[in-house]
Amino acid sequence: MLTPFVTAQRILTSFASILISTALCTQAVHAQDAPKVNFAEHKNAAALAERLQTKEGIPAAMTLELLKQAELLPQVVKAVKPPKNKSVRNWDTYRSRFVEPYRIRKGVEFWDANLDTLKEAEAKYGIPQEVIVAIIGVETIYGQHIGNYRVLDSLATLAFAYPEGQRDRSEFFLSELEAFIALCNRTHLDALEVKGSYAGAIGLGQFMPSSWTAYAVDGDADGIVDLFHSRRDAIFSVANFLKVHGWETGKATRVLVDIEHTDNLQELLAPDIVPTFTPAVMQQKGVKLNSETLPDEKLALIELVRGEAEPAFVAGGQNFYAVTRYNRSSFYANAVLELSEALKLRRDMLN
Ligand SMILES: [Ca+2]
């Protein structure tokens, strides 16, 4: 996951920047040409160090020393700035990055290579195997791109130097920085070495540090939760996250729709991603559900903006909503679910 509350728009630009950064260099992202700052001197640094001392028993001097070594990353500041061109939001562009032949092929390979683990995770948590595979596929191409930013730098940058001129999310990142330092202190992770996304998401499933703390599980029971090297830990942790966040086994993910008339469109779109309308009500209001068997549950009408073109629509059920808990974007959830469907289709064809 990148972060909760990240808009689809920002996801678009952030994924673009991640893809560009991973394509252009395999080395860590460094603070080239960055102004030298000492984050230990920031007005919120001492309170952070005190909290970690009280709650985690980490000497305040140790936290301040870490913050002193953290670097301001201009690329990270740039990544969280809203795009200049608002019309850039385009589902087709977003989709083409994630629901594409390479990610489908590699996904089937990942699925086959981890079949027993995925079966066990499905049996334990009730999450379909293809959905777990698709999340890891969208997040990191099955572990290929886990991020080149030093997490200490990216989280310190966003906690202490969040760019102005937009909603200030520095408090969220400050709490993630706190969770990260605590996590490193409790585990084998070296706070000066751990790499992740520009927003501080880490491991195969790109968990934020607070999510690692709350939802990661030791799938291989070796006594260590390792979301970098243990596929079993990563797979079980993704499944556990979705289960805790309301995935209901057997409920609908998404249903393809046609809009027959737009008279009630605004009313149908008002609840956003929250499942609100029964299939019958949705059909009465002009939405044709393209499914042989209609789900016996409430649905949300999801609008997928396509730049200047006409938007696309899909109906999302409880489990579409559950995927948005991983990343609060309907683009994200629809990409994960469409990829999961493509993976299942492809694997069924091959077997
Ligand atoms: Ca483990």
Whether 171 sits among the annotated catalytic residues: the reply is: no
Instruction: Tell me how far the alpha carbon of residue 122 lies from the centroid of ligand 1, in angstroms.
Output: 18
Going by the DSSP 8-state scheme, the letter that residue 51 receives in this structure is H
* CA 72 vs CA 39, 89, 152, 153, 154: distances in Å: 8, 28, 10, 6, 8
Q: Which of 71, 139, 176, 338 is catalytic?
A: 139
Segment 45-50 mean pLDDT: 98
Instruction: Tell me how far the alpha carbon of residue 187 lies from the centroid of ligand 1, in angstroms.
Output: 11
Of 37-41, 97-101, 162-166, which gets the smallest average pLDDT? 162-166
Instruction: Tell me how far the alpha carbon of residue 240 lies from the centroid of ligand 1, in angstroms.
Output: 14
pLDDT confidence tier of residue 135, bands split at 50, 70 and 90? very high
Instruction: Tell me how far the alpha carbon of residue 203 lies from the centroid of ligand 1, in angstroms.
Output: 13
Res 306: pLDDT: 95
Per residue in 283-300, pLDDT (tens digit) is 999 999 999 888 999 999
Does the pLDDT of residue 88 top 90, yes or no?
A: no
Instruction: Tell me how far the alpha carbon of residue 234 lies from the centroid of ligand 1, in angstroms.
Output: 9
pTM of this prediction? 0.89
Q: What percent of the chain has pLDDT over 70?
A: 89
Does the pLDDT of residue 188 top 90, yes or no?
A: no
Which residues sit with Cβ closer than 5 angstroms to ligand 1, an ion?
218, 220, 222, 224, 230, 233
Distance of CA 65 to the CA centre of its chain: 30
Segment 149-163 mean pLDDT: 98
Q: Which residues, at least 6 apart from 152, have a Cβ–Cβ distance to it below 8 Å? A: 66, 69, 70, 177, 180, 191, 192, 194
The label of the residue with tokens 């509350």 reads 5
Instruction: Tell me how far the alpha carbon of residue 216 lies from the centroid of ligand 1, in angstroms.
Output: 10
Does the pLDDT of residue 17 top 60, yes or no?
A: no
> Across all residues in the chain, what is the average pLDDT?
91
Instruction: Tell me how far the alpha carbon of residue 3 lies from the centroid of ligand 1, in angstroms.
Output: 24
Per residue in 107-116, pLDDT (tens digit) is 999 999 999 9
Domains of the chain: 8-85+142-217 (1.10.8.350)
Of 45-49, 100-104, 205-209, 308-312, which gets the smallest average pLDDT? 308-312
* CA 289 vs CA 91, 92, 250: distances in Å: 20, 21, 18
